Amino acid sequence: MKICVYAIAYNEEKFVDRWMDSIKEADAVYVLDTGSTDKTAQKLRERGAIVKSKKITPWRFDVARNLSLELIPEDFDVCICLDLDEVLLPNWRTELEKIWDKSTTRLRYTYNWHLKDEKPIISFYADKIHKRKGYKWKYPVHEILVYEGTENIKQTDKLIINHYPDNKKSRSSYLPLLELAVKEDPNNDRNMHYLGREYMYYGKWNEAIDTLINHLKLKNAVWKDERCASMRFIARCYTNLKRYDEAEMWLLKAINEAPYLRDPYVEMMFLKDKLGKYNEVIKYGNEALKIKNNPKTYINEPFSYNETIYDLLSIAYYYTGNIDKAIENIDIAISINNDERLINNKKLFLKEKSI
């Protein structure tokens, strides 16, 4: 079996050694450098990668990825699309060879998108490992692989990729590219959701609300997790507009849409905490804690499974006069995140208890 890794790269010399070390079991490495001004291309070549440089104007991720895919000879069996801020964990090739057979077209694997102290905070199944022939990348941003035939997709939890993003890198191109993606395909629910989310990130509250409502209206917008997220984001926008009744209405819709997810309950806790309605914070916090695990998707929010619920509950119990429960919950929060603010809150609770 011939396996290669391929990528696009731009000014990522600091990641080259870590990246190449993680893929040393590959038979070949192909990289399209899209105009780096640092030593990315040079370092990759020194480590054995085959590198071609080409500036892409106007910029589109799908064009860049398709050009990188074209670098790979057609006699390769398996292609792994791996960005330079990602790392394949050890024994990946052994696991891949166990699962892959001649009928396989693509592989889903565990993708740790967000880590803290090397522990996964958000994980989901990604699917950028595919056969050489038949696949093309589509959409100017948040691009996906499309196949010209019928796919046969395998799945494993034992092949793992970790993501270590460069938070200093600009993502300013995402908004115009998402606007372009929606213009090109206005019925694509995924891109409509992403565009609404992006408007929210930029503080464009009304544009976000309109776009996310458009997402919910699409006939193919049927994935409940994503629909719930759109509803939560609409509520965030209304909260920022200080239209709290509408925010609550949309959060109730989100809970009703996907009652098996913690996320809408926690967002309701944020809203009720902001409004000083602490008995309702407790109500929704306890409902959230009944849910032990969210499905493994990119929709998951870090605040649903870190210290946040216990932090909010401790404050709510404090203000409703239940100091013992406040201390119980702040202890759990501190066990998850030994944060100075949480420690100071515990001191306050203990002082109140001693009075």
What secondary structure does DSSP assign to 26-77, as a single string?
Answer: SSEEEEEE---SSSHHHHHHHTT-EEEE---SS--HHHHHHHHHHTS-TT-S
Determine whether 45 is exposed, middle or buried from the number of CB atoms within 10 Å of its CB (0-12, 13-18, 19+).
Answer: middle
Helix (H) or strand (E) holding 324: helix 323-336
Say if residue 147 is in the same domain as residue 35.
Answer: yes
Once rounded to an integer, what is the mean pLDDT over residues 346-355?
91
- Give the residue numbers spanning the domain of 27: 3-163
Domain end call among 129, 163, 197: 163
Confidence of residue 230 (pLDDT cuts 50, 70, 90): very high
d(CA 40, CA 51): 10
Q: Hey, what long-range contacts does 345-352 have (CB within 8 A, 24 or more apart)? A: 345/311, 345/314, 345/315, 345/318, 348/318, 349/314, 349/318, 349/323, 352/318, 352/323
The alpha-carbon radius of gyration of the chain (Å, integer) is 23
Confidence of residue 295 (pLDDT cuts 50, 70, 90): confident
Once rounded to an integer, what is the mean pLDDT over residues 23-51?
97
pLDDT at 308 over 90: yes
Say if residue 213 is in the same domain as residue 151.
Answer: no
Question: What mean pLDDT value characterizes the chain?
Answer: 96
Q: What is the pTM of this model?
A: 0.93
Handedness of CA 154, 129, 16, 142 (dihedral sign): negative
Say if residue 183 is in the same domain as residue 154.
Answer: no
Neighbours of 257 (CB within 10 A): 19
Say if residue 38 is in the same domain as residue 98.
Answer: yes
Report the pLDDT value the prediction gives residue 296, as an integer from 0 to 100: 86
Domain annotation covers residue 344: no
Query: Max Cα separation, the chain?
Result: 77
Judged by DSSP in three states, 123 sits in strand
Domain annotation covers residue 258: yes
pLDDT in tens, 255-282: 999 999 999 999 999 999 999 999 999 9
Domain end call among 163, 189, 206: 163
CATH code where residue 220 lies:
1.25.40.10
Report the pLDDT value the prediction gives residue 196, as an integer from 0 to 100: 98
Beta-bridge partners for 111: 124, 161
Lowest mean pLDDT of 104-118, 159-173, 250-264, 310-324, name the range: 159-173
Confidence of residue 15 (pLDDT cuts 50, 70, 90): very high
Report the pLDDT value the prediction gives residue 170, as an integer from 0 to 100: 79
DSSP 244-291: HHHHHHHHHHHHHH-TT-SHHHHHHHHHHHHTT-HHHHHHHHHHHHT-
d(CA 158, CA 28): 22
pLDDT in tens, 149-187: 999 999 999 999 999 998 888 788 899 999 999 999 999
* pLDDT over 90, % of the chain: 92
Domain annotation covers residue 317: no
**Domain count along the chain:** 2
Confidence of residue 142 (pLDDT cuts 50, 70, 90): very high
Domain annotation covers residue 354: no
Say if residue 290 is in the same domain as residue 158.
Answer: no
pLDDT at 355 over 80: no
Cα angle vertex 135, ends 45, 133, to 5°? 75
Q: Using an 8 Å Cβ cutoff, are 73 and 123 in contact?
A: no
Say if residue 251 is in the same domain as residue 152.
Answer: no
Q: Using an 8 Å Cβ cutoff, are 273 and 281 in contact?
A: yes
Domain end call among 121, 138, 163: 163
Say if residue 130 is in the same domain as residue 217.
Answer: no
Total residues found in the chain within this entry: 355
